[in-house]
Amino acid sequence: MLGRYLALVVGAIAAAGLPARAQAEEAPAGQHDFSRCAACHSTEPGKNGVGPSLAGVVGRSSGGAPDYSYSTAMKNAHVTWDAATLDRFLANPQSVVRGTKMFVNIPDETARGNVIAYLATLK
Ligand code: HEC
């Protein structure tokens, strides 16, 4: 009786614990690298900070976050943010949008790839 109860409890804990562990293994590289960005960028739609919200940024046109006051350079850039353009922008923002007020970069290619993968999860 007690044995069966224990087995149930252990089973429930294992079932609850598994997805959390799987998530912790998949998401964090990019999320960890994104912590530097989070000082200026929220991941919630419509919530702008020093920088625009990055919710839905992958696939969006540059300068596209509503109610954010972009630099003239970014307003006129007409870049579509995808893996390739983000990779160049995050390596060296000025090389893609000369005159942008974003000056933070990610020199490490792996970290850049991780952050871009994380950005793609933000809808
Ligand atoms: C010190 C503040 C700051 C930090 C830190 C920062 N950014 Fe920015 N970011 C900005 C600002 C300001 C803009 C708007 C640039 C403009 O209007 O020229 C911007 C714009 C962007 C854009 C273009 C968004 C759009 O709507 O077109 C992307 C993509 C971006 N940042 C990604 C990142 C990532 C990824 C990181 C982390 C590595 C990061 N930023 C770190 C301030 C920051």
Whole-number pLDDT of residue 63: 98
The total number of residues shown for the chain amounts to 123
Q: For residues 106 and 66, what is the distance between their CA atoms, to the nearest angstrom?
A: 25
Given a contact cutoff of 8 angstroms between Cβ atoms, the answer to whether 118 and 31 are in contact is yes
- Ligand 1 pocket: which of 33, 89, 102 to mutate (most atoms <8 Å of CB)? 102
Answer whether residue 15 shows pLDDT above 60: no
Mean per-residue pLDDT of the chain:
87
Whole-number pLDDT of residue 36: 94
Whole-number pLDDT of residue 25: 54
Answer whether residue 95 shows pLDDT above 50: yes
- Establish whether residue 62 lines the binding site of ligand 1, counting it when its CB lies within 6 angstroms of any ligand atom: yes
- Residue 69 burial (CB count, 10 A): 9
List all residues 6 or more positions away from 109 whose beta carbon is below 8 Å from its beta carbon: 91
Residue 78, amino acid:
H
- Ligand 1 pocket: which of 72, 104, 112, 114 to mutate (most atoms <8 Å of CB)? 104
Answer whether residue 55 shows pLDDT above 70: yes
Answer whether residue 37 shows pLDDT above 60: yes
CA-closest residue to ligand 1 atom 33: 37
